[in-house]
Structure 1
C-alpha cells in the first residue's frame, strides 16, 4: 500500500503543467485500485482488519465448537474484526488464576469471560464500558454498576446454582414415591437407594466441583440465615466456626462416610462425575442449571428430574447468580472499539445469549426478554417451575453475599471440601476457610 502525503503549502510552487501531470498520475493510480467487499475498502476508505484475543471458558456444555460458532457469527456481522480464541486450560471453577497469570505476564486478552471481576477492576485490568440504550435494557443494570459509577462487564443471564438432578428410574426402583424437602427426608431417600444397591450421589472430589457442591448444599442454611454473611465476616461479626457452617460441614462429611456420596468421589473430576450420573451409576447429581441443556443429559435412557437442596425446615431456597459471568475488555487493548463490540455481542446479542441460555438453562435479564427465548428442554421446564415457585436466595460461592469474598476463596472452599471427603476433621476444613479469609481479606 502506498501512502501519499500531499503538502498544500507547496502547491503554489508547482507549475501548471506539473500540476496536471500529478493529478493525471493520481487519477490513473486510483483507477488501478481494486474494489474490495465490505471490511476492506468501503466508500473509498481503506479499512484494515484488526485482530483481538478472546479468552473463553470451555465446559462440557460450552464446548470449543460452541465458541467457534459464536465467533463465526460475530465475524459475519463485523468482517473487519478477526477474533483469536484463547482457551483457559484449568481444572478450577473459574478462569481467575489463568487471567491473573496472563495479567502478570503482560499479555492480558483483549476480551475475557470473567467471573470474579472485582479483582481485575481493582488491578486496573478492565476498562469501563459504554452504557448505551441496549445496555440500559438490563433489568439489573443498577446492581451491575460499581461504586465508581462504571460498568465493567456485559452480561444478561441469570443462572441457578443450587440444584440436585435425580434419575427418576432409579428413584422408582428404590421405591421412592415422595421427593425430599427436609434433610431428614433426604437421608431416608439415600438409605432407600443404598438398600436397593444404588449409589445415591455423584460428586467430583478431585477438582473445584467438590467445593462448589459443598457450597450449594451449605448455602440454604448459611447464606439464607444471613444474606450479608461475607460482609459480616469482613467485619468479624461471624466466623466459619459458627453453628451454621459447623453443621453444614459436619453434614457433608457424614454424607460421605455414610455412603450417600460415592466412595470413589475423591478420585473423580468434573467430567467423570457427570458421566457417572449419566451412565445411571448414581441416582443424584448436584450441579447448576447449565447441566440441563447438555446434549448428554437429553440423550440418556432415563428421565431426569430436579429438586432443590434439602433444608432443615423443609423450605426451598435456591442459590442463583445474576449478571456475574460477563465479558470484560482489557484496559490496555490496542483495539478498544473492536474489543467492546465483541464483549457487547457476547453479553447482549440475542444469538449468543439465546444459545447460552439454551445450553445452561438460564433466564434472560433483559427487559425485552422475548427476544431471547429458546426451546426449553423438559429438564429446563422443571427448573423453570422450581425457580418460579421457590424462595430464591441470590448468590453463593465466589459471588457477593453482602460483599465479595477474598480472591481465590473458592480454592480454599475446594480444599475444605476435599478435607471432608478424605477423612479430615470438620475443624480442619473450617480452619482452612477461616485462616484463608483472615490472611487474604482486603
Structure 2
C-alpha cells in the first residue's frame, strides 16, 4: 500500500512492453478488447487475476480483456497517471470512486442490478450512484489478540471499555510482554490505532462527522478529536508499542505478531488471511473499545471494478464487470487470503467453498449482526471518503504523533490540508 511515483514515460514504456492498450479496440469481427487495471498481493496473485478474467470472458461473447498491473497497491495514483497520459483503462479494480467520478471519468452501474444482487446496495455509493459493485466489506481495524499471551499475563477476557483496554496494556507490559504491535514504518499501517480510536470515539458519537467536515461545521482541532488523538499519545508515552515501532514495516509487523512478539495488533480485517492455520485457535479479535463499552464497528464496503465513462465499448465493459462481480469463484481468494467479508445476496460462507478460521467467523458476525456501524475513518469509498490527498496527510500525522506531543499542531495541519483540498 505504499505510494510510489512513476513517470508517464515509464508507464507508457511498461504498457508497450506488456502489449496493453488503455483504449477499447476491435478484436475480430464484432469483438472488443478491454483494458483492466488490477493489482497483485501475496493473496491476489497473477494467477488469481488471470483465472478470474478468463471466467468472466467466457460469459461475455466477443470480449478480450488485457490486464494492466499497478506497480503498487495504490491504484488511485496509478490510474491518475494513466489518465494523464491518455491511457485511462476501461475497467479499474478497487479504486476510490470519488477521486474519479467528480471528473466525469466513471460510468455508474444500473441501480436495479445493484439492488438485486448485494446486501448493502448503497454501501459504497457516492453522491447517490454506485460506481463499484459493493461485493465485499472489511472492518478497519479490529484488535487482534494472542490468547496465550493474554493467559500468560493472567488476562481472562478481552477488554470492553477503554479504561479496561489501558489496564490490559499495563498488565501485559508489567508481565514483560509488548502490548501492541505497530508497523509504523509504513504510513497506512502506522495510522491503524488512530483509525480505530477516531472511528470509535468521534464517528461513534457523530456518524456524520466527515460530511460535517465538508460543510465546515466541525474541525480536526475540535476538543472531541483532540481527546481521541490524545488517547493514542498516551499509549505511546506509556510504552505500549514496541521500541522502534516507526522502523517496523507492515509485513514485518504481521510476522512479529503471529510469532508471539506482541499480544495485540490493530489492523484491518484483511489480517485474517494471515492468521497461521496451524494455530488459528490461539487468536481472537475485538473492536477498539469505547469509554462506555458501546460497540462501534468501523466498517468499509469495498467492491470490484469501476467502468470508465470513456470506454468505447460500454455495453461489453458493463457485461464483463457484472459477470466478474457475481462469480462466487472470485470470492474464495478474497475471503481466505484477504479476509474479505462477502456481500452477495442469498449466499452463506459455505456457498463459496472456503475454509475459514473461528476468528474469521467471529469477525464476520460483526458484519451480519445489527449493531452500530460507522465508516472506517479514512477508508470509506462513499460520501464519507476524505478529499484527495487527505489520506496521505492523515498517515503522515499518524507517524509524526508517535514521536511528537504536538497534537494541536498536527490536527491544525490536517485542517489546513483539508481546506486546501476542498477549495
TM-score in same-fold range (> 0.5): yes
Matches within 5 A, 1:423-442: 423=404, 425-442=406-423
Given candidates 308, 326, 339, the residue that maps to 2:317 is 339
Give the superposition deviation at 1:182. Answer: 1.3
CA contact (8 A) 1:116 1:398 kept: no
In structure 2, C-alpha distance between the alignment counterparts of 1:359 and 1:153, rounded to whole Å: 21
- Aligned equivalent of 1:224: 204
Give the Å deviation of 1:309. Answer: 0.8
Tell me which residue corresponds to 2:44. 62
**Residue in 2 that maps onto 1:419:** 400
Match of 1:364 in 2: 342
Partner of 1:280: 260
Which protein is bigger by CA-based radius of gyration? Answer: 1
Query: What is residue 184 of structure 1 aligned with on the other side?
Result: 163
Distance 1:146 1:311, change over 3 A: closer
CA 1:421–1:63 in 2, change beyond 3 Å: closer, same or farther?
A: farther
Residue in 1 aligned with 2:64?
82
Secondary structure of the residue that 2:83 maps to in structure 1? helix
- What's 1:73 paired with? 55
When the two structures are aligned, how many residues end up with a matched partner?
Answer: 393
Say if 1:183 and 1:332 are closer, same or farther in 2 by CA, change over 3 A: same
The aligned residue for residue 310 of structure 1 is 289
Q: Distance in 2 between matches of 1:425 and 1:123?
A: 37
Query: Is 1:110 aligned to 2:84, yes or no?
Result: no
1:37 corresponds to: none
The 5 A counterparts of 1:141-220 are 141-142=121-122, 147=127, 150-207=129-186, 208-220=188-200
Give 1:140's aligned residue. 120
In structure 1, stretches of 5+ residues that fail to align are: 1-45
- Show the counterpart of 1:11: none
Cα gap change, 1:334/1:386 in structure 2, threshold over 3 Å: closer, same or farther? closer
CA contact (8 A) 2:137 2:340 kept: yes
Distance 2:369 2:61 in 1: 45
In 2, are the aligned partners of 1:310 and 1:316 still within 8 Å (CA)? Answer: yes
Name the structure 1 match of 2:308.
330
State the superposition RMSD in angstroms. 2.8
1:320–1:392 Cα contact (<8 Å) kept: no
Alignment deviations for residues 218-265 of structure 1 (CA, whole Å, 9 cap, x no partner):
210010111110121122221111122111211112212222122222
SS of residue paired to 1:227:
coil
Q: Does 1:97 align with 2:80?
A: no
Per the alignment, residue 6 of structure 1 pairs with none
The equivalent residue for 1:33 is none
Give how far 1:357 is off. Answer: 3.1
Match of 2:106, SS state, is coil
Q: State the alpha-carbon separation in 1 of the partners of residues 66 and 243 from structure 2.
A: 42
Counterpart contact for 1:278–1:300, Cα < 8 Å: no
Cα drift, residue 213 of structure 1? 3.5
TM-score normalised according to structure 2 size: 0.83
Rounded to whole Å, the distance in 2 between the matches of 1:362 and 1:400 is: 16
Q: Distance in 1 between matches of 2:37 and 2:171?
A: 45
Q: Alpha carbons of 1:399 and 1:142: their partners in 2 closer, same or farther (altered >3 Å)?
A: closer
Q: Distance in 1 between matches of 2:413 and 2:182?
A: 21
CA contact under 8 A between 1:126 and 1:329: conserved in structure 2?
Answer: yes
CA distance in 2, matches of 1:301, 1:225: 34
Task: Give the whole-Å Cα distance in 2 for the aligned partners of 1:389 and 1:334.
Answer: 42
- Distance in 2, matches of 1:277 and 1:390, equals 30
1:389/1:351 CA distance change after superposition, 3 Å = closer
Aligned to 1:238: 218
Q: Single out whichever of 246-255 and 409-418 deviates more from structure 2.
A: 246-255
CA distance in 2, matches of 1:177, 1:158: 30
Distance in 1, Cα, partners of 2:246 & 2:418: 24
Measure, in 2, the Cα distance between the counterparts of 1:326 and 1:73: 15
Q: How many Å separate the matches in 2 of 1:122 and 1:133?
A: 23
- For 2:226 and 2:114, how far apart are their aligned partners in 1? 45
Q: Deviations over 1:244-292 (max 9, x none)?
A: 2111211112212222122222112221211211222111111122221
Q: Deviations over 1:388-437 (max 9, x none)?
A: 56733231223268644211211111011011113352122212211111
TM-score, length-scaled by structure 1: 0.80
